Amino acid sequence: MPKKHAEKHYSKRVGWLRAAVLGADDGIVSTASLIVGVAAAHTIRSDMLIAGMAGLVAGAMSMAAGEYVSVSSQADTEKADLERERKELETDSAAELEELAAIYVERGLDSELAKQVAKQLTAHDALGAHARDELGISEISSARPIQAAIASAASFAVGGALPVLLVFLIPEKQIIMAVSASSLLFLGMLGGLAAKVGGANVLTGIARITFWGALAMAITAGVGVLFGVS
């Protein structure tokens, strides 16, 4: 029996990594921007804390609900496609076999070998072969709504807690600068870590996430100054 290949593949991490990075990034950016915007409007510390905590809780729940609904929709579509494929295999297995062989021909196999591969895979797991090669559904890409919702909400809460904590610790006059600078630092660390875990370029990950974070905070601060109290 051939030895199992032990090479690691980063694509296995895509599902939870995307939800976790998106949640933490949104938690830091939205909560920090909200605090900076409120602080720029010349408000007191208690108002900043209320805004930050409200934004943290609302954002975490919104992320969880949004991820659950969107990924559930994907899961429903996958189930419908698999059910349709199951019925087609039961009613016209010969046509489905030809369809599978045609897919392998398009990928570079000659006609005879493609038919042999299609027959063997069909005999082993017909629905699995069609799910993977015709529909593009695999264990890596399949939708997991609850996992995505939990990862998004938890990571948002962790990311959002960082700027809120600073409001407690930093002198009131320094809150805007401290929250902005530390949030950009947190974002840079997050971007670098996400890139490292995902096997991507670390500097690109850092630059991308800090640029958009800085832009969001700058615009929100501008809104706070424009509509704030004197």
Q: What is the pLDDT of residue 57?
A: 93
pLDDT-derived band at 83 (thresholds 50, 70, 90) equals confident
pLDDT in tens, 153-184: 888 999 999 999 999 898 888 999 999 999 99
Q: What is the pLDDT of residue 2?
A: 47
- What is the token pair recorded at 210? 């800090």
Distance of CA 168 to the CA centre of its chain: 30
| Mean per-residue pLDDT over the chain, rounded | 81
Under 8 Å CB-to-CB from 8, ≥6 apart: which residues? Answer: none
Residues 123-150 as b/e (b if ≥16 CB within 10 A, e otherwise) read eeebbebbbebeeebeeeeebbbeebbb
Under 8 Å CB-to-CB from 27, ≥6 apart: which residues? Answer: 56, 59, 60, 63, 155, 156, 157, 158, 159, 160, 161, 162
Share of the chain above pLDDT 70, in %: 86
Q: What is the pLDDT of residue 43?
A: 85
pLDDT in tens, 129-156: 777 776 666 654 556 778 778 888 888 9
Q: What is the pLDDT of residue 18?
A: 64
Average of pLDDT values for 223-228? 82
Q: What is the pLDDT of residue 105?
A: 83
Average of pLDDT values for 36-59? 90
Distance CA 187, CA 208 (A): 10
Asked whether the predicted pLDDT for residue 9 surpasses 70, the reply is no
pLDDT-derived band at 5 (thresholds 50, 70, 90) equals very low
pLDDT in tens, 84-115: 878 877 787 788 788 778 888 877 777 888 88
* CB-based contact 24:187 (threshold 8 Å): no
Distance CA 118, CA 109 (A): 11
Q: What is the pTM (predicted TM-score) of this model?
A: 0.68
The residue with tokens 């890409």 is: 141
